[in-house]
Amino acid sequence: MPIYETDELTFEVPEGYIDRTMNIFVTPPSATKRAPLSIVITRDARTAEPVGEQAGKIMKDVPKVPGFKVLGQRDRAVGSLPAREARIHGETSGVPTYARQTYVGYYDTLISIIVTAPRASSAQCDAVTERLLGSMRFKKSV
């Protein structure tokens, strides 16, 4: 069985399992005067197509969620890797939301970085996203 390592532990994963690790970070409730933000990082399998095309197919599904729409997309770099980014408006539990979704191809993994905030705090969401993406350092060169 393959060995899997995290910061805290090492364990064996049965053959054939797929890594769908997810990291979630949130601002503490009312700990600051800033708007509540969430950061979600997920991993999916890469396809053979360029990251922009794979992410574009994911973005085509966004309008299928009632009340959600893609405001725009662009290619960019995260570290030295090509990435695709989208800005999205939607509504979650009656609250208008704004999200920045960035997709990065890293070997056989598509890493999704999603930063979400109330729509009124979109400028703060953009600033946090830029700081987060600018701080990312990949452990192995592609």
- How much of the chain exceeds pLDDT 90, in percent? 61
Distance between CA atoms of residues 74 and 90, nearest Å: 19
5-14, 64-73, 85-94, 105-114: which has the minimum mean pLDDT?
A: 5-14
Distance between CA atoms of residues 62 and 13, nearest Å: 32
Distance between CA atoms of residues 40 and 18, nearest Å: 18
Of 8 and 136, the one with more pLDDT: 136
- DSSP letter at 33? S
**pLDDT at 132 > cutoff 80:** yes
**pLDDT at 31 > cutoff 60:** no
Q: Model's pTM, two decimal places?
A: 0.85
How confident is residue 30, by pLDDT bands cut at 50, 70 and 90?
low
- How much of the chain exceeds pLDDT 70, in percent? 95
> Concatenated DSSP letters for 104-124?
EEETTEEEEEEEEEEGGGHHH
pLDDT digits (tens, 9 = 90+) for 104-118: 999 989 999 999 999
- At residue 42, what is the residue type? T
pLDDT at 42: 92
Of 3 and 72, the one with more pLDDT: 72
Distance between CA atoms of residues 86 and 58, nearest Å: 10
**pLDDT at 17 > cutoff 90:** no
pLDDT at 33: 61
- At residue 117, what is the residue type? A
pLDDT at 12: 86
Q: Which fold has domain 3-135?
A: Protein Transport Mog1p; Chain A (3.40.1000)
**pLDDT at 99 > cutoff 70:** yes
Q: What does the domain layout of the chain look like in residue ranges? A: 3-135
